[in-house]
Structure 1
Amino acid sequence: MQFFKRNPFGHILFLKKWLIRILGAYSHRRYRGFNELKIEGSEIIRNLQDSNVLFISNHQTYFADVVAMFHVFNASLKGRVDSIKNIGYLWNPKLNIYFIAAKETMNAGLIPKMLAYAGSVSIERTWRSNGEDVNRKVKFSDISNIGKALNDG
């Protein structure tokens, strides 16, 4: 028996919860003060099924989108209506939220590594690597990892 419960990717949920709390508390001010996050449709998020849900992000604003999605999803699921006011929603965050990201990007520094632990499904790009064009075959393990994430959340 394991001492700490883990998600399908082997991440310890206790650590993931605290990481989301800390990063969420740190980033909350960005979306409530510096940039006012405009939210619509929180009732749609509340009515989604528990698994097999996929959201797509714009690559150009990727990390900001991922952090904002963690805030919006958790706030909506805790009853906030189109708002992330009252940061208490981060005390017990939803831990089976995942996002797809390039493996090389998620290994590029401390913050990407923390975001990867918080919920990245890291895949190897087939068309580009380290700023160079490449032509790789799709790794079927990447596809199965996306399936694992969809089944879990």
Structure 2
Amino acid sequence: MGLFKKNPFGHNLFIKKWLIRILGVLSHRRFRGFNELQIDGSEILKTLPDTNVLFISNHQTYFADVVSMFHVFNASLSGRDDNIKNVGYLWNPKLNLYYVAAKETMSAGLLPKILAYVGSISIERTWRSEGKDVNRQVKMSDISAISKALDDGWVITFPQGTTTPFKPIRKGTAHIIKRYKPIVIPIVIDGFRRSFDKKGLRIKKKNILQTFEIKEPLKIDYDNESIEDIVEKIEYAIEQHPSFLKVLTPQQLKEQEELNEQRRWKS
């Protein structure tokens, strides 16, 4: 790779590679050390094409979620099976990996700007701005940027657009799926909200079990399924459909309490 080669967004790949290496080394113990990231399904990543793959996930913190994905994806592609042991997998990271994030979040401070250079597709939220509810049109330049990223590689998105659980899925994700027909891989994460602050920068509690499940590609009839159909599939796939709020049976409650005990903060 030449020193001056750039990606479609004009980011120097040599600089991007070193930023991923440095940030990866600095963040590694957050997922393997201070806490323990339990991964399931990483073998699926090894079967995927190099471009036009869209990852959809629930969202728990601004930054830790996507940082964990950079670790898991690169570890898997370098031969690890459901683990991020030995941070050497970051020596040759996947450089055509992007994630969708709010523009105002990625421009608020030096660290977010560095994280943006690593792979952010920064878009203007149509429903929220500067802490207030808004209602504005989707910018075509934002849609074009996501299309460009899919053409170049893999894209991570959080279709709820918020870290608050069980909020509605934004239809924009379904429109992108229907229009560009990517392979859609659901991811379900947990434990991040308990172990990090809302931004995902400060460790709030240690010895938390963090879970990271990669699921099989969604089966989607791109031509015949409606936007509403795809939205519902996304809700179920990332386990954010209202039905997941159902009352638990005594046995399920006991199992949940046992799992929470593993996730409990141990001083």
Fold agreement, TM-score > 0.5: yes
Question: What is the aligned partner in structure 2 of residue 52 from structure 1?
Answer: 52
Provide the residue aligned with 1:9 in structure 2.
9
Q: Is the 8 A contact 1:5 1:12 kept in 2?
A: yes
Q: Provide the residue aligned with 2:25 in structure 1.
A: 25
| Offset, 1:3 | 6.0
Corresponding position of 1:124: 124
Unpaired segments of 5 or more residues in structure 2?
154-267
1:134 aligns to 2:134 (yes or no): yes
CA distance 1:152–1:32, change in 2 (3 Å): same
Provide structure 1 residue ranges, at least 5 long, that are not aligned to the other structure.
none
Letter paired with 1:112: P
The answer as to whether partners of 2:7 and 2:13 remain within 8 angstroms in 1 is: yes
Letter in 1 for 2:90: L
**Which has a greater percent of helix?**
1
Which deviates more, 138-147 or 54-63?
A: 54-63
8 Å contact 2:42–2:81 — kept in the other structure?
Answer: yes
* Runs of 4 or more above 3 Å deviation: none
Where does 1:34-53 land on structure 2 (aligned, <5 Å)?
34-53=34-53
Partner in structure 1 of residue 81 of structure 2: 81
3-state SS in 1 of match to 2:24: helix
Q: How many residues align?
A: 152
Aligned CA RMSD, in angstroms, stands at 1.2
Letter aligned with residue 125 of structure 1: R
**CA contact 2:51–2:152 (8 Å) conserved in 1:** yes
Deviation at 1:62, TM superposition (A): 3.2
Identity %: 77
CA distance in 1, matches of 2:19, 2:3: 19
Q: Which structure has the greater CA radius of gyration?
A: 2
Q: Residue by residue, what CA displacement relative to the aligned partner does 1:50-74 show, whole Å, maximum 9, x if unpaired?
A: 1111112333323111000000000
Q: Which moved more, 1:22-31 or 1:51-60?
A: 51-60
Q: Which amino acid aligns with 1:136?
A: R
Q: Which amino acid aligns with 2:40?
A: E
Aligned to 2:37, the other structure's residue is in SS state coil
**d(CA) in 1 for partners of 2:11, 2:80:** 28
Distance (Å, rounded) in 1 between the aligned partners of 2:55 and 2:136:
25
Q: TM-score, normalised by structure 1?
A: 0.95
Q: CA deviation at 1:14?
A: 0.5
Q: Could you say what secondary structure the match of 1:61 adopts?
A: coil
C-alpha contact 1:121 1:146 (8 A) present in aligned 2: yes
* CA distance, structure 2, for counterparts of residue 17 and residue 52 of structure 1: 21
The answer on whether the counterparts of 1:57 and 1:66 sit within 8 Å (CA) in structure 2 is: no
| Contact 1:58–1:65 (Cα < 8 Å) also in 2 | no
Task: Label 1:144 to 1:127 Cα distance change in 2 as closer, same or farther (>3 A).
Answer: same
